[in-house]
Amino acid sequence: MQSANTVRIDSHAVATLRYIRTSMEAAASIVVPGSAGIAMGSVGLLAMGVSSAPSLHEHWLGIWLIAAVLAGGIGLALITRPASLRGLTLSGTPVRKFALCLFPSLFGGAVMTAVHWTNGNLHAIPGTWLLLYGCALIAASVAATRTIALMGGSFVAVALLTLVLPDNLQILMLGIGFGGLHLLFGLLIGRTGHDRQI
C-alpha cells in the first residue's frame, strides 16, 4: 500500500524536466534569420520605388506605413519560426525579452509619427522612424546577437544624417535604411550561419 507522503517518481521527473526547459529558455537567445532581413529589406526597397514615382510621391507616408505593417508581419513570422522549431514557446523568456526590448521604441515611433503629422512636421518623420527603429534594435540585441546591435547603430547613424538632409532626400534615406541596411545585414547574418534553422 502506497503512503500518502510518497513522492511519485513520474511527478519528480516532470518537475525536473520543467526546470531544465525553463533554464534552457532563459539561457537561449533569439535567432534572427538572415531571411527576415532580406524580406524586410525587399519591402523597403519596393516602398522606396513606389513612393518615388511622381504620381505617388505625395502619398509617401501612407505607402511607407503600409510597407511597415507588411515588413513587420513578415519579419515577425520569420523570427518566431526558429523559436518554435527549437521548442521554445512564444511567451518563453528569450522571445518575451526580445519583444519587451523592441516594442517601447516602436511605440515611441508611432506616437512621434502622430505628433509630427498633426503638427505638419512631415520632414522629421523619416529620421524619427530610422532613429527609434535603430534604438529598438540596439535594445533588442540583449536577447539576440551583437550583429543586431551593429545594425541598430547603423540605423541610428543613417537617422542622424536624415534629420539634417533636405526634403527631397527623405525617401531615399528611408530606402537606404529600411531597404539597404535590412538587405545588407540579412545577407551578412545568412553568410555567418545564423540562418541555418530556416
pLDDT digits (tens, 9 = 90+) for 56-108: 999 999 999 999 999 999 988 887 776 555 555 555 566 778 788 889 999 99
| pLDDT tens figures, 154-173 | 999 999 999 999 999 999 99
Question: How far is residue 182's CA from residue 58's CA, in Å, rounded to a whole number?
Answer: 25
Write down the pLDDT at residue 16. 57
Write down the pLDDT at residue 170. 94
Helices (H) and strands (E) counted in the chain, each on its own, are 8, 0
Predicted confidence (pLDDT) at residue 177 exceeds the cutoff of 50: yes
CB 41 within 8 Å of CB 179: yes
Query: CA dihedral defined by 89, 72, 151, 171, rounded to 10 degrees?
Result: 180
Q: How far is CA 161 from the centre of its chain?
A: 22
Write down the pLDDT at residue 34. 86
Write down the pLDDT at residue 21. 53
Write down the pLDDT at residue 145. 79
Question: How far is residue 9's CA from residue 189's CA, in Å, rounded to a whole number?
Answer: 45
CB 171 within 8 Å of CB 126: yes
**Alpha-carbon Rg for the chain in angstroms:** 21
Predicted confidence (pLDDT) at residue 198 exceeds the cutoff of 50: no
Q: Quote the DSSP letter at residue 122.
A: T
